[in-house]
Structure 1
Amino acid sequence: MAERLLEGKAGLVTGGSSGIGRATALAMAREGARVAVADVAVEGGEETVRMMTQAGGDAVFIRTDVSRDSDVAALVRSTVDRFGRLDVAVNNAGIEGTLAPLAEYPEEMFDRVVAVNLKGVWLCMKHEIPELLEQGGGAIVNMASILGLVAFPNAAAYTAAKHGVVGLTRVAAVEYAARGIRVNAVCPGFIETPMVMERGVAAGRQRETYEKIAGLHPIGRLGKPEEIAGMVVALLSDRASFVTGAVLPVDGALTAQ
């Protein structure tokens, strides 16, 4: 049997009820990790855990609003209580927000997007890093976006928050590299998730819309959640032992143009 990349490790994934988060949790479990799945969406999160346990994994769902410090602290504490340690973490939770011109963007929605997509990543690292230090190191992957690298019209809040995730990732990588913690960010292109297919740009509602979004990618299609999960698992594993502070587009060459 081939060596599993995360054998014996304990981890957590936020935003694990669907899409990239679910695919990542499943991939981590297949590679031998015990995983806490966190989300505000209880039904979806519990379904992810059912899928993992049915495949032989060790998983637990913990309802978590990543914009609340007390929720994130409880998530990390519960993960350590369940598995005895924390070795790896994927800070994936995010919302798309409203599509609107910058000068017309609703303030309440702007604040909410930043609270979940940016502050949430900071809160997760704030509580994860002390536990990783207790183990002598570990690895974190933050889910940014191509909109952490380039602009997208009518998505001011999301773009600003994801640019912030890139900045937080680099700061954390520099601060903790010498103490054995690696921190990287993945920047997906447009992926076939509920956020992209059903909400946001709603690429799944009309063939014309899907083809327009697909055409932004030189590869000629949208990505699959599993393709992002594969990169995340590789970054969490010891095979990426010299990779930290990296901000990696996984976007079918969209940002290479």
Structure 2
Amino acid sequence: MSQRLQDKVVLITGGGTGIGKAIALKCADEGGQVAICGRTPERLTEVERDITGAGGNALAIRCDVSQSQEVENMIRCVVDQFGRLDVLINNAGVRASIGSIEELTEQEWQKTFDIDAKGSWYCSKFAIPAMRNSGGGSIIMISSISAHIGQAQQGCYNAAKAAQELLMKCMALDFAADKIRVNSICPAWVRTEMNHDQLAEMEKSPDKKYPPGLSFNDVRRLHPLGRIGEPEDVAWAAVYLASDESQWVTGTSLMVDGGYTCQ
């Protein structure tokens, strides 16, 4: 265990499952004091128990990141518990139903932007004063390659992630003088709870086409390294951006995509 995050306080939104859970466990393994938030207390408690059971320090907080008062209370709770905040990882996100913008409902559009874009703004807004008091910090957006490419029938999700990406770049400029670095991680297809059922169904008939017109083999071939990503692939990147190893890195999008976007 290298302890790359020794004594750092790390807050991960959407930390109960998938990528967020993998990041929480990896940060704890690297010596970080970990706070996780989400909307499902049972899942958060399970991750908290995994970390503390392995000798780490963790705090689980129920929070809907689309609600500003809940976010403000969450940040206060983290600082009260640990005395500081060094790293914020904006991981909480949802994906709208697959379909053209003509088919999407206003409710689907609003929900996606409320969590993916506005949620990242709320969490960053209230975390920045705490980081400033700590002498600096690192904010990491868990974005997507979808922020950088066009994809049929995914206009809402891609637009929300693109908003998150440009927010990251503007924040990197706004808070560089405070020694607060802001970056993003852009995964391609990752085997998470959000798409686990879809991928499992696709694997049963790997050449059958599923919306939006892809088979499992098509998805696998989209990545030159020949496989779909795992949550741990993203977690390793998050540890790097959270650690002092990346102290001269800000305003950048780190593609963790198996080569998807280099084609």
Structure 1 partner of 2:236:
230
Classify the secondary structure of the residue corresponding to 1:219.
coil
- In structure 2, distance between residues paired with 1:105 and 1:139: 35
Cα deviation code 1:109-156 (max 9, x no counterpart) = 000000000000000100011110011101111111000111221111
1:18 aligns with 2:17: yes
Aligned length: 253
Q: Percent identity?
A: 38
Matches for 1:104-119 after TM superposition, within 5 Å: 104-119=103-118
Classify the secondary structure of the residue corresponding to 1:203.
helix
1:193 aligns with 2:192: yes
- In structure 2, distance between residues paired with 1:148 and 1:206: 24
Structure 2 partner of 1:69:
68
Partner AA of 1:135 in structure 2: S
Structure 1 stretches of 4+ with a deviation exceeding 6 A read none
Classify the secondary structure of the residue corresponding to 1:141.
strand
Structure 1 partner of 2:28:
29
- In structure 2, distance between residues paired with 1:94 and 1:63: 15
Structure 2 partner of 1:203:
199
Partner AA of 1:211 in structure 2: N
Task: Tell me how far 1:3 sits from its aligned partner.
Answer: 4.0
- In structure 1, distance between residues paired with 2:199 and 2:19: 16
Partner AA of 2:67 in structure 1: R
Structure 1 partner of 2:211:
none
Cα deviation code 1:57-96 (max 9, x no counterpart) = 1001100100000111011000001111101110100011
TM-score calculated relative to the size of structure 1: 0.96
Task: Tell me how far 1:47 sits from its aligned partner.
Answer: 1.1
Partner AA of 1:229 in structure 2: A
**Given that residues 12 and 36 in structure 1 are in contact (C-alpha distance below 8 angstroms), is that contact kept between their aligned partners in structure 2?**
yes
Cα deviation code 1:157-187 (max 9, x no counterpart) = 1100100111000000011112100000000
**Given that residues 203 and 213 in structure 1 are in contact (C-alpha distance below 8 angstroms), is that contact kept between their aligned partners in structure 2?**
no
Classify the secondary structure of the residue corresponding to 1:136.
coil
**Given that residues 87 and 139 in structure 1 are in contact (C-alpha distance below 8 angstroms), is that contact kept between their aligned partners in structure 2?**
yes
1:239 aligns with 2:235: no
Structure 1 residues 51 and 210: alpha-carbon distance in aligned structure 2, compared to 1, 3 A threshold = farther
Cα deviation code 1:197-229 (max 9, x no counterpart) = 22xxx1221212432211111111100100100
- In structure 2, distance between residues paired with 1:71 and 1:213: 37
Structure 2 partner of 1:81:
80
Partner AA of 1:117 in structure 2: D
